[in-house]
Amino acid sequence: MPKARSIPSLTGVRGIAALWVFMTHFYGLAADILHQPWMLQSLFLFNGFRGVDLFFVLSGFILMHVHEGQFTVLRWHVVRDFFIVRFFRVYPLNTFVLLAMVPLVLLAPGYVAMQRYYADPAFAYRAHNLSLPGFVQTLLLVQSWTVLKLGEWNIVSWTLSAEVLGYILFPLLAMWAMRISSPRNALALCACSLVTLVVVLFACHHANNNPTGTFGAIRMFFCFAAGILLYRAYHLLPDSMERHASSITSGAVIFIAATLFFPVVPVLDVFGFTALIFGLAYQRGAVDALLRSGPVIWLGRISFSFYLTHYLLIGIISWSLGEGLRHLDLASGLAVTFAIFGLCLIVGTVCYHLVERPSQRLGRRVMQRVEARDAMIGARRTA
């Protein structure tokens, strides 16, 4: 059955997720600047890292939405075109940010020392941060594929590494999902994927923290697979599901908000994220209207660039100005807090327009040239 090709609110929800991740990275510094120690106890701010799981579920859902039907069987040219577009989606911006860090690492030993500092033996791997092997690993975006601790650069890029692994697996996962003919089975498998993730997180003592690295790839796989299966169910379900969409999205928001009053319970937010994405796909209700509003859509569009640059900016500000900022009065602290947020938005916007969008256009041109070459070769063979 035909479904909407454009779902603006899913762009908006990506922006909200990026904003939540920003909050979890910024609230420690903000609490010092504003002299508000209660912020350090906020479950809402602490759990912002769970926005990454929303990204992973959303990624699987959107990729199935965009590439629906292309992977019923594996065809070389389809898989190749998919990888070309995905490469230009993540690697150019990651490389740009990484290269921008090089002068800072070479010229600011104090910043390097801060990034390598650790007090807990569990974080001893930080001693290798900003190393040359870590640079190579981050450049290739393979840091989540191995248990080796070669050193982190732009720390948030671990999610891109996990995402690239998802891209590699996507053709096979999509082909498998396309063979599911029952929406009930698709939803059941989606739920099983999320339940498995939650069980693994509890079993490995990661239910109340933000596991990255290799375990981050595990988070990605189960969330990504859930998103793929969720879309398959959405595709197979009748149009009459639209009448429940508003209730589903509202219920998902209420569920997510309710979990944030209790420690550990937010690990279940993956179920709320999945329900939210499913409800938004039908584009009904007040939540959908909010997430498709102009400011939220704009935030969603720059979310990738904003996400990839904000942590670096916060780190630089904390290293260079942190001590002085902690002595500001409340009014000045509020102004500085909003100024830092505004700076992160500006840098994200600039990177979006000058790096992210041009690299995506370049990727499409490369793909078109490859397809034109294939057509020429095919014409010669049939001549």
What digits encode the pLDDT tens for the residues 271-288? 999 999 999 999 999 999
Taking only the tens place, the pLDDT of each residue in 79-90 is 999 999 999 999
Structure tokens at 123: 């974080």
pLDDT above 80 (res 382):
no
The answer to whether residue 89 is domain-embedded is yes
Phi (first) and psi of residue 143, to 5 degrees? -65, -20
Residue 1: the pLDDT is 42
Taking only the tens place, the pLDDT of each residue in 166-191 is 999 999 999 999 999 999 999 999 99
The answer to whether residue 71 is domain-embedded is yes
pTM over 0.85: yes
Number of domains within the chain: 1
Taking only the tens place, the pLDDT of each residue in 185-229 is 999 999 999 999 999 999 999 999 988 888 899 999 999 999 999
- Of residues 84, 85, 22, the one with CA closest to residue 52: 22
Terminal-to-terminal C-alpha distance of the chain: 39
Comparing 17 with 148, the larger pLDDT belongs to: 17
The answer to whether residue 1 is domain-embedded is no
| 108 contact partners, CB below 8 Å, separation of at least 6 | 319
Residue 8, number of CB atoms within 10 A of its CB: 17
- Round to whole Å and give the CA distance between 93 and 86: 12
Give residue 122's domain range: 8-322+329-374
Amino acid at position 376, single letter: M
Q: Is 346 exposed, middle or buried (0-12, 13-18, 19+ CB in 10 A)?
A: middle
- Round to whole Å and give the CA distance between 124 and 247: 47
- Round to whole Å and give the CA distance between 225 and 134: 28
Residue 149: the pLDDT is 82
- DSSP labels, 95-109: HHHHHHHHHHHHH-H
Element (H, E) at 348: helix 330-351
The answer to whether residue 289 is domain-embedded is yes
- Round to whole Å and give the CA distance between 348 and 369: 30
The answer to whether residue 152 is domain-embedded is yes
Residue 376: the pLDDT is 84
The answer to whether residue 379 is domain-embedded is no
- Round to whole Å and give the CA distance between 281 and 285: 11
- Evaluate whether 138 touches 98 at the Cβ level (below 8 Å): yes
The answer to whether residue 70 is domain-embedded is yes
The answer to whether residue 252 is domain-embedded is yes
Element (H, E) at 15: helix 8-34
Task: Summarize the confidence of residues 357-383 as an average pLDDT.
Answer: 86
Task: Summarize the confidence of residues 31-37 as an average pLDDT.
Answer: 94
